[in-house]
Structure 1
């Protein structure tokens, strides 16, 4: 009978682990070792291609543990609490030519290739020092565009944001904004959470044992985010510990913890602020974070929840015209004046007459869709019933189907124009689109927003809107004139009216039109 057992090709295994580490993970592991040694300060220096990390921790009792794969030299409480596995210094061997270590009264120096090969390394006595110094020579910057010194400094800035031990790079202290214990951290099931209401609760960064952990997060342009310090015992994926072992599950748990903490901060703000201040400062935060129910009993509303008739008059709308509106309005005023919401319609143009009416009335039109069920605005808002809109006009002065606008509407110039809603006051207006007719008065100027959005092939065509504006103004000018000469003047293009034409200098031209007003002869 023959037996077999698990065997390991040690040299090939160690050689292939090269692909499991990166220079980033190497630098993080060196910092982590110093922290576990209870260092009070870590100094990183870069001189050419030599990287040195020195600390004032407890030192290494047996240098063999430093290059003992999968055998951590830390005490049992540390191994149990932080899942220390004994792969840290291994990561340095793949990115340097030589490794030198001096801890306490012992030291060694060797080619990294010899260490990987398993050669015997001589440990020799050296004058005692406090803590440990690890020196790597022959290190190359992973970014060809940056010198090693620059790359290390920038990487330390990323790594040390929540690192609990002061770190210096070539004598300059690295900022550690989230290492401040006086910050208002909140204890959760997933560690401590620091909330920044300027950021969405879905924009967060996680740190494990002081170093960033690679859970996928989202960021905003300002760099605002929530900060999560995970429990030390959270499992990281070996060997480089750059990602959580149970990433998808832990990500959901982290998100739940952040959501809870975010809501707590909003509730505390609501309890400490006046209703006006809470709406002003935190209405957007509540809506963006699905905490809109916190607004339900606040007797104020943000003006931003309603249509701004100054920036977006009745008609087609463009996103780039929308601006955040500052200011509040009280529930008492809204209920006294009334608040409306537009009825749903398959064709937005069918709502234009109602929009003109509401604009003329300067009515509150609720457009914020994220308000929670139970908010008092839902009960106060009345839906505009489109058939109730009534358009009344005076004598028709001129009408035309053949103006050539981007949307096929008939233009009708009238002496006066009113719009109303059954049972409610009517208002004088300058222009209104009712179905496919655009009624205008002489004060209407060029309400192109009632004609088209001028979006063609997903691009806004400003020239098309300008052309329509000219056509509408020309139509009004023609309608207001009785003299054929003045009508013709209104029809002349800009190039004939205002730009010099040398070949027409001092010319007199006669035109003849038929009984339908069509040009038949020029002399």
Structure 2
């Protein structure tokens, strides 16, 4: 049996909408946080000068003194705005925000001008007819009341949740807001703030914070972007910036807008630094803002100033020569003038980390300026003063070796120990400086007064873990080595080598005993007799 095919006939199709499914799916486009923002936005757009919110256990009422709503139908007209054309054009206004309330409350009542309605939200969402009735009293503004409302988390009290959200929402909101009679703080709405006008709106610069850490507000409410890292720079976007609909908590063109915002923040940040530079003495600006200039890619602002921070150079008192613990990094305070640096010179070490210890010891002894700052502009004058020093330029003058150990079992197994009576370091043709210890060509030279030589052994960080016990062991090894080398008689040598367990711990089996130790010709223990 063959299938019978009918000849196609001409017909038309048109866009159709499953209205009930669309309304049901819109639930996922809103949340309670955006609901509060929509209610505040309605009042602001209605030109309200104050907004009063009342909350009890399960209801919320918001009363504004704005111009009111001419037609209450506009509140529940999906995808249709009740705002006038200028406002729709200036702010891309979309609807009047009441739709978001329908998913989070059981009843909605609205009273504006001389009319009101009161209905179950389920009936409104189902498209049931809602009666709008006239009222005897003409109300200034609008009152919207939600009953049967719950916070996002059942364990939260409605009042506490609303208070927390209003604190976040109202930070830059232009209209005063009260919650149960208490005004909500609006720190970014203060008229005393120094906003800077840019191509991406008004920006409030905080020079103590990074220029790449900013947050945005659109039409008075916070907008979430990928750049919301902290509380530093604040951006009030132009009112016509496009936000995602229907829940306007994100930018529509975030990738492009974020680049434009960052460029505007960078410009405002630089201008703020330039204003500080013009207002302060050179030394003050350098002391307070040099670090900010380096961290914000504005290092060139320092090029024409005759001071630099003391923190650009090694602080020998706080950080002596040797391996440095990164968690102890401290910068010196104050500034140093160009004249002083020209007289005394600026140094940089031309060597890797380990070999550079020789040069560090010399520079510390000479109390020289060792430049350690990074990020300086190539045009800064300090570069012209820098002299390079290499470890092989440092001469070590030591008298006869008193004691030597080729395998001291230190954290750095490649270092040997040599005890000398006196030790000096110098550059060729220059006078020397006395030092207690120096590491050169794989040998750690020590004198009897070397008390902190572990800095010349290791940084004691292995696999990002600080080996404090290992440093203590090395310090003990060095003290023992020095004590042995300085001892002239066998009993003093043995006393220096005596372990703590025998020196400080009671051993009952040795009470009253006299022990005789016999060593061979090489100094190796041969016998122990009573």
Tell me, yes or no, whether TM beats 0.5.
Answer: yes
Which shows bigger deviation, 152-161 or 175-184? 175-184
Q: Deviation above 4 Å: which 4+ runs of structure 1?
A: none
- Equivalent residue number for residue 155 of structure 1: 165
2:432 maps to 1:422:
no
- Equivalent residue number for residue 351 of structure 1: 356
Q: CA deviation at 1:87?
A: 5.7
Output one character per residue of 1:297-341: Cα deviation in whole Å (capped at 9) or x when no partner. Answer: 110110111111122211111111112321111110011000011
- Equivalent residue number for residue 410 of structure 2: 405
Match of 1:235 among 219, 223, 242: 242
Using a 3 Å threshold, how does the CA distance of structure 1 residues 279 and 446 change in structure 2: closer, same or farther? Answer: closer
Match of 1:99 among 88, 99, 108: 108
Match of 2:36 among 27, 49, 52: 27
2:181 maps to 1:174:
no
Q: Is the 8 A contact 1:163 1:179 kept in 2?
A: yes
Distance 1:487 1:219 in 2: 62
Distance 2:24 2:207 in 1: 47
Q: CA deviation at 1:387?
A: 2.3
2:326 maps to 1:319:
yes
Q: Is the 8 A contact 1:446 1:472 kept in 2?
A: no
- Equivalent residue number for residue 138 of structure 2: 128
Correspondence 1:10-49 to 2 at 5 A: 10-49=19-58
Output one character per residue of 1:410-461: Cα deviation in whole Å (capped at 9) or x when no partner. Answer: 1100111111122433211110000210000111124101111111222011
Q: Is the 8 A contact 1:143 1:151 kept in 2?
A: no
Gaps of 5+ in 2: 1-9
Correspondence 1:243-262 to 2 at 5 A: 243-262=250-269
Give me the TM-score of the superposition, normalised by structure 1.
0.97
Distance 1:473 1:465 in 2: 12
Q: Is the 8 A contact 1:389 1:419 kept in 2?
A: yes
SS of 1:356's equivalent in the other structure is helix
Q: Is the 8 A contact 1:202 1:218 kept in 2?
A: no
Using a 3 Å threshold, how does the CA distance of structure 1 residues 244 and 335 change in structure 2: closer, same or farther? Answer: same
- Equivalent residue number for residue 445 of structure 1: 451
Match of 1:2 among 3, 7, 11: 11
Distance 1:276 1:189 in 2: 33
Give me the TM-score of the superposition, normalised by structure 2.
0.96
Q: Is the 8 A contact 1:44 1:51 kept in 2?
A: yes
Give the aligned length.
518
- Equivalent residue number for residue 199 of structure 1: 209
Output one character per residue of 1:175-234: Cα deviation in whole Å (capped at 9) or x when no partner. Answer: 1111123321111000011111111111111100000011122545xx4x1111100000
Q: CA deviation at 1:33?
A: 0.1
Distance 2:350 2:408 in 1: 31
Match of 1:290 among 297, 300, 316: 297
- Equivalent residue number for residue 372 of structure 2: 367
Distance 2:508 2:416 in 1: 38
Distance 2:406 2:228 in 1: 53
2:389 maps to 1:384:
yes
SS of 1:206's equivalent in the other structure is strand
SS of 1:178's equivalent in the other structure is helix
Q: Is the 8 A contact 1:292 1:371 kept in 2?
A: yes
- Equivalent residue number for residue 227 of structure 2: 217
Gaps of 5+ in 1: none
- Equivalent residue number for residue 90 of structure 1: 99
- Equivalent residue number for residue 332 of structure 1: 339
- Equivalent residue number for residue 394 of structure 1: 399
| Alignment root-mean-square deviation, CA | 1.2
Q: CA deviation at 1:6?
A: 0.4
SS of 2:484's equivalent in the other structure is helix
Distance 2:61 2:129 in 1: 23
SS of 2:252's equivalent in the other structure is coil
Q: CA deviation at 1:472?
A: 0.4
2:514 maps to 1:505:
no
Match of 1:67 among 51, 76, 84: 76
2:485 maps to 1:479:
yes
Distance 1:283 1:92 in 2: 51
Distance 1:417 1:344 in 2: 22
SS of 2:128's equivalent in the other structure is coil
Distance 2:398 2:390 in 1: 21
Using a 3 Å threshold, how does the CA distance of structure 1 residues 335 and 143 change in structure 2: closer, same or farther? Answer: farther
Distance 1:344 1:205 in 2: 44
SS of 2:397's equivalent in the other structure is strand
Distance 1:87 1:461 in 2: 63
Distance 1:284 1:446 in 2: 31
Q: CA deviation at 1:163?
A: 0.3
